[in-house]
């Protein structure tokens, strides 16, 4: 039977298909690049402006006058063309799109590699470059090769203070950074119904780190309940014995807290192997782990204590920030000595608001630790929010299970 990717795209794996794009979006940087290409092909007009969005998140607020000037140009274009526009502080594009925009069964294309995050809601979501996005602006469609799908069977239950980020790092390590190249990772098994939407977003977000085209969950009761808060009514996607050429089994109770060590996402070590490693900075946020639930777990560990290293916390969206403010989470984090940044990507891409210096060591809840990404000559370890929180309190990598 057809996989979820095949069902959404309406074609068998390995074939090519032209598909109407239900939702397309750019960030500040990719939006500028897309507009340059759009102008070069004669600016023939936008096929479906109502389905297009521009979201300022990567270098937001602007870090210098040149950036500000370019952003002003794109801002004016979005206004003139009546595109969906999300100003600085609204949040990371992938998180904003979960707020009732990307829906199950849709084809969602973003000019950012982590667009695969939105597969958590049952959409076929993938990232493209500026040239492809300019084509979508003009035609409203995209030409795709239907990917082969890999099934990841989830069973069992996570231990206390082990998080979905630990599962994500584990499966990326299992597959390798190119083990799922141009494939779709579909999460299946007896335990998928117990994975919260925030966990699904984390798992799908990391699919591209194994080379995948996208990661997907079938929409179900949890999807319906999540989207209902945005007044969206959706149906379940029922798996009908999909035909996977490759399947992997992950027993959740066996997962332990891990870190991806510099400079590869697929090279992980158990926390206990790194315990005591001194760090200079902790960064908690990004489209992987900047949601309210991540901030709340962090605050729960830090409440009433003080961090020993500089700790930057950046919410994934304004909605997450507001909820954290209303529930006292931000107050607890600030009292613990954390610095709170405006919703967005923050230092994840090494642009501003927390870049590391040469020789410094950082611990991050982001999705990439490539050499020089977050600071020239620096080293970054990737982990879960709970690991980041307990480590910030000690100034060294520690096991989050100590938090109890």
Q: List pLDDT tens digits, range 183-197.
A: 999 999 999 999 999
Q: What local confidence, expressed as pLDDT, does residue 222 receive? A: 98
Q: Give the start-to-end residue ranges of the domains of the chain.
A: 19-116+125-141, 145-255, 258-399
**If pLDDT is split at 50, 70 and 90, which confidence band does 351 have?**
confident
CA distance 358 to 393: 23
145-255 and 258-399 share one fold: no
Q: What local confidence, expressed as pLDDT, does residue 7 receive? A: 96
Distance of CA 288 to the CA centre of its chain: 4
At residue 395, what are phi and psi to the nearest 5 degrees?
75, 20
Long-range contacts of 197-201 (CB under 8 A, 24+ apart): 197/98, 197/120, 197/121, 197/222, 197/223, 197/226, 198/164, 198/291, 198/292, 198/293, 198/294, 199/163, 199/164, 199/167, 200/120, 200/121, 200/164, 201/94, 201/95, 201/98, 201/117, 201/120, 201/287, 201/291
pTM for the structure as a whole: 0.96
**If pLDDT is split at 50, 70 and 90, which confidence band does 128 have?**
very high
Q: What local confidence, expressed as pLDDT, does residue 386 receive? A: 97
Q: What local confidence, expressed as pLDDT, does residue 374 receive? A: 85
* Percentage of the chain modeled with pLDDT above 70: 100
Return the percent helix, strand and coil in the chain, to nearest 5: 40, 20, 40
Mean pLDDT score of the chain: 96
Domain 19-116+125-141 has CATH 3.30.499.10: yes
Q: What local confidence, expressed as pLDDT, does residue 404 receive? A: 63
**If pLDDT is split at 50, 70 and 90, which confidence band does 230 have?**
very high
The answer on pLDDT for 23 being more than 70 is yes
CA distance 315 to 294: 9
Kindly state which CATH superfamily the domain 258-399 is placed in: Aconitase, domain 3 (3.30.499.10)
Q: What local confidence, expressed as pLDDT, does residue 240 receive? A: 84
CATH architecture of 145-255: 3-Layer(aba) Sandwich (3.40)
Q: Which of 11-25, 26-40, 163-177, 234-248 has the lowest mean pLDDT?
A: 234-248
């Amino acid at each position: 039977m057809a996989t979820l990717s095949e069902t959404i795209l309406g074609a068998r794996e390995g074939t090519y298909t032209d598909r109407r794009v239900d939702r397309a979006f750019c960030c500040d940087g990719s939006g500028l690049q897309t507009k340059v290409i759009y102008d070069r092909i004669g600016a023939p007009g936008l096929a479906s402006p109502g389905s297009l969005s521009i979201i300022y998140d990567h270098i937001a607020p602007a870090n210098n006058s040149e950036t500000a000037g370019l952003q002003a140009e794109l801002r004016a274009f979005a206004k003139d063309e009546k595109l969906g526009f999300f100003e600085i502080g609204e949040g990371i594009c992938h998180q904003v799109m979960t707020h009732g925009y990307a829906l199950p069964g849709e084809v969602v294309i973003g000019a950012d590699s982590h667009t695969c995050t939105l597969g958590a809601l049952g959409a076929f979501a993938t990232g493209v470059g500026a040239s492809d996005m300019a084509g979508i602006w003009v035609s409203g469609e995209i030409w795709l090769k239907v990917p082969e799908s890999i099934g990841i069977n989830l069973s069992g239950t996570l231990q206390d203070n082990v998080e979905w980020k630990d599962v994500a790092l584990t499966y990326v390590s299992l597959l390798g950074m190119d083990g799922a190249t141009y494939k779709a990772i579909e999460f299946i098994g007896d335990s998928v119904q117990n994975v919260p939407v925030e966990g699904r977003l984390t798992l799908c977000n990391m699919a591209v780190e194994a080379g995948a085209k996208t990661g997907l969950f079938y929409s179900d009761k949890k999807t319906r309940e999540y989207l209902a808060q945005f007044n969206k009514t959706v149906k379940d996607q029922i798996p009908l014995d999909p035909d996977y050429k490759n399947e992997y089994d992950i027993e959740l109770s066996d997962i332990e807290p891990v870190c991806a060590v510099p400079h590869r996402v697929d090279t992980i070590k158990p926390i206990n192997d790194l315990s005591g490693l001194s760090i200079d900075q902790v960064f908690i946020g990004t489209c992987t782990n900047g949601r309210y639930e991540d901030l709340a777990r962090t605050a729960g560990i830090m409440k009433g204590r003080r961090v020993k290293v500089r700790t930057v916390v950046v919410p994934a969206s304004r909605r997450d920030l507001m909820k954290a403010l209303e529930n006292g989470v931000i107050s607890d984090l600030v009292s613990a000595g954390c610095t709170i940044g405006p919703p967005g990507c923050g230092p994840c891409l090494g642009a501003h608001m927390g870049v590391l210096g040469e020789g410094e060591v950082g611990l991050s809840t982001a999705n990439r630790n490539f050499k020089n990404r977050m600071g020239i000559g620096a080293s970054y370890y990737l982990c879960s929010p709970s690991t980041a929180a307990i480590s910030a309190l000690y100034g060294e990598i520690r096991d989050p299970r100590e938090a109890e």
